[in-house]
Amino acid sequence: MTILVTNDDGIHAKGLWALAAALKEIGEVIVVAPDREQSAIGTSVTLHHPLRAKEIKPLVEGVKTYSVEGTPGDCVILGLGHLIQGEVNLVAAGINEGANLGDDVLISGTVAAAFQGHLNGIPSMAISVAALNDVNTDAAARLATVLARKIGAHPLLKKTLLNVNLPNLPLDQIQGIEVTQLGRRSYKDLIKEGHDGKRKYYWIVRGNAQWHYEEGTDAWALSKDKISITPLHADLTNTLPLTPLKDLSTAIFQELVTP
């Protein structure tokens, strides 16, 4: 089994190497990760300037490792398309410092990396721990190996992206696993204004997350000290308004082409 391991916290992040070390037990691991922090970069792909990748000394012995001057998405595209010879059986992104829940999957670089794997038809997972300090990666690393084996053996799991979030707890304090839906949160991004001596600048500061803890959502599972696994796919189509929109489309086109 060949496993591409990446992240968005950068090539030096502790979580990346915890994941690489764990997955090395079950397959050949190749790390292709951004050379610096790329959190909240989302699905960004670098098309307008050259990408540089260099092979570096791994923090875990025997793991071929590339540091990329690019986004998590770039890393997976470059890894699958060029750096790794032969078939890749799994893309694993993480272990991220901080949960990736609900609406936030749209800006998460960790989830985006897994999406690139998924879009290439490869079983993929994103793994995050819900803490920014003193992150305990032990349970997440162990879970990654269990999931990697299950994904390989289960046809349905091969076709989905798994967004996995763990509470920041030792394994013996975790209360179970819930398969969840994406939750919702309300937040207000704060815009801070400043001046750098030359020009005015703005800084987007994320407000405190106000999660809605509806039963069955990812945020709810974590609030119960459980692991959340949300299957994701890339089809963002909202099927509910399709029929009324189709009914409207002739009128919309008429209005468009009528001078």
Binding residues for Mn ion, rule: CB under 5 A, are: 8-9, 39, 96
**Least distance from Mn ion to the Cβ atom of residue 19, Å:** 13
How far is 35 from 98, CA to CA, in rounded Å? Answer: 19
Q: Could you tell me the smallest distance in angstroms from the CB atom of residue 257 to Mn ion?
A: 46
Query: What DSSP line would sit under 21-49, residue for residue?
Result: HHHTTTSEEEEEEESS--TT-TT----SS
Of the pair 15, 183, the CB lying nearest Mn ion is at: 15
Cis omega (within 30 of 0) for bond into 41: no
Q: Work out how close the CB of 43 gets to Mn ion at its nearest, in angstroms, rounded to a whole number.
A: 14
Minimum distance between the CB of residue 70 and Mn ion, rounded to whole angstroms?
15
H or E segment to which residue 241 belongs: none
Q: Which is nearer to Mn ion, 80 or 112 (CB)?
A: 112
Measured from the CB of residue 116, what is the shortest distance to Mn ion in angstroms?
16
Q: Decide: helix, strand or coil at residue 131.
A: coil
> Least separation, in Å, of the C-beta of 73 and Mn ion?
14
Compute the distance between CA of residue 3 and CA of residue 13 in angstroms, rounded to an integer. 18
Q: Which is nearer to Mn ion, 61 or 117 (CB)?
A: 117
User: Which CB, 87 or 134, lies closer to Mn ion?
Assistant: 134
Other beta carbons less than 10 A from residue 242's beta carbon: 10
Q: Helices then strands (H, E): number in the chain?
A: 7, 13
Closer CB to Mn ion, 11 or 250, in the complex: 11
Least distance to Mn ion, CB of residue 138, Å: 19
Amino acid at 104: D
39 vs 116, beta carbon nearer Mn ion: 39
CB of 137 or CB of 157, closer to Mn ion: 137
Residues 6+ apart with CB under 8 A from 231: 160, 161, 162, 163, 179
Taking alpha carbons only, the member of 93, 110, 81 closest to residue 29 is: 93
- What SS3 state is found at 149? helix
Tokens of 14: 């502790």
Q: Is beta strand 64-68 parallel, antiparallel or unpaired with respect to 2-6? A: unpaired
